[in-house]
Amino acid sequence: MSFFRRLQQDKLGIACLMFLGLLTLAGIFAPLLAPHDPTLVNVAVKLATPSLEYPLGTDHLGRCLLSRVLFGIRTTFFYAFLAMGVTILFGVIFGMLAGYSNGKVREAILRFCDAMLSFPSEVMILAIVGILGPGILNIVIANILSKWAWYTRMIYSSVQQYRSKNYVKFAQVNQGSPFYIMRKHIASGIAGEVTTHSTLEMGWVILSISSLSFLGLGVQPPTPEWGMMLNEAKNVLFTNPWQMIPAGTITLLVVIALNFLGDSLQNAMNPQAYMINVKQQKKLLRFGTGRKRLNVNIESEKS
């Protein structure tokens, strides 16, 4: 059974993929979907409840919450993809270089990665942002610097496994260049593992961007971003708690969807894990059916 066939049979994974895809399209077409300008201040309608004109209500400055959530997709997703893309690029370059080379180059890369991994990632992000100063680009840089070493280590381990494969050794015997072997035989093999881990990691990057923006270290007003919206909502938490719900809910749903999608991709790429998952689902289904029958028998005996 192929990867796409296994993924199609995972209904939860497909639902998460569709949700994230629709959300991405909503962010792309936010100027067409948003009912109002997300930065337009209208104090006359501040803290308005949901209505036809303002489907999610307004904030303390009278700005449309739905419009800010839609435009916030752009901000959050763009910088999260930027951080993950550059992180993966560095991880692939240094990981494959360390995995395919010998001697001082490999040792230098691995020892430097060990030094980077000795620091907790959250502490390193806060330290880097504290040095560089507030700003969304500084948060992206901090996430890249705190994550690339982990990806380098992961890709290095995968490259070491693929180097022992017979088809890679055959390509080496045929005097294939190292760049050709890495691009043709090794990169295609590690692509699935990188995709799975990056999908899971994307949720943590979004949480990092949103949490630092919530603390006032990331996106600055009036740019719409979910963490910044939560930061603004905390000032009116007791007088208008609804203002915090839209941004908080969409952040929660996106992170959960990314985690479920990452698990689905991992199961689909690993046939053994897929079969174990299918067997577990069948056991749960039988257990649930058995409990229903047992309850029916007990009720019939009582009557």
More confident residue, 107 or 283: 107
For residue 283, pLDDT over 70 is answered with no
Task: Return mean pLDDT, the chain.
Answer: 83
For 72-291, which CATH class? Answer: mainly alpha
Q: Give percent of the chain above pLDDT 90.
A: 42
More confident residue, 10 or 294: 10
Q: Give percent of the chain above pLDDT 70.
A: 83
Of the candidate ranges 8-17, 67-76, 271-280, the one whose mean pLDDT is the lowest: 271-280
Query: Domain locations in the chain?
Result: 72-291
More confident residue, 253 or 177: 253
Question: What is the per-residue pLDDT for 181?
Answer: 73
* pTM to 2 decimal places: 0.82
Most confident of the ranges 20-24, 183-187, 214-218, 275-279: 20-24
Question: What is the per-residue pLDDT for 56?
Answer: 93
Average pLDDT over residues 271-284: 53
Question: What is the per-residue pLDDT for 266?
Answer: 82
> How confident is the model over 196-250, as pLDDT tens digits?
888 888 999 999 999 999 988 888 888 899 999 999 998 888 888 899 999 999 9
Of the candidate ranges 103-107, 217-221, 224-228, 274-278, the one whose mean pLDDT is the lowest: 274-278
Is the preceding peptide bond at 222 cis, omega within 30 degrees of 0? yes
> How confident is the model over 30-50, as pLDDT tens digits?
999 999 999 999 888 998 889
How many Cα neighbours within 13 Å face the side chain of 155?
A: 32
Question: What is the per-residue pLDDT for 294?
Answer: 45
Question: What is the per-residue pLDDT for 271?
Answer: 59
Of the candidate ranges 127-131, 251-255, 275-279, the one whose mean pLDDT is the lowest: 275-279
Burial class, 10, CB count within 10 angstroms (exposed 0-12 / middle 13-18 / buried 19+): buried
Q: How confident is the model at residue 74 (pLDDT cuts 50, 70, 90)?
A: very high
Distance CA 303, CA 284 (A): 29
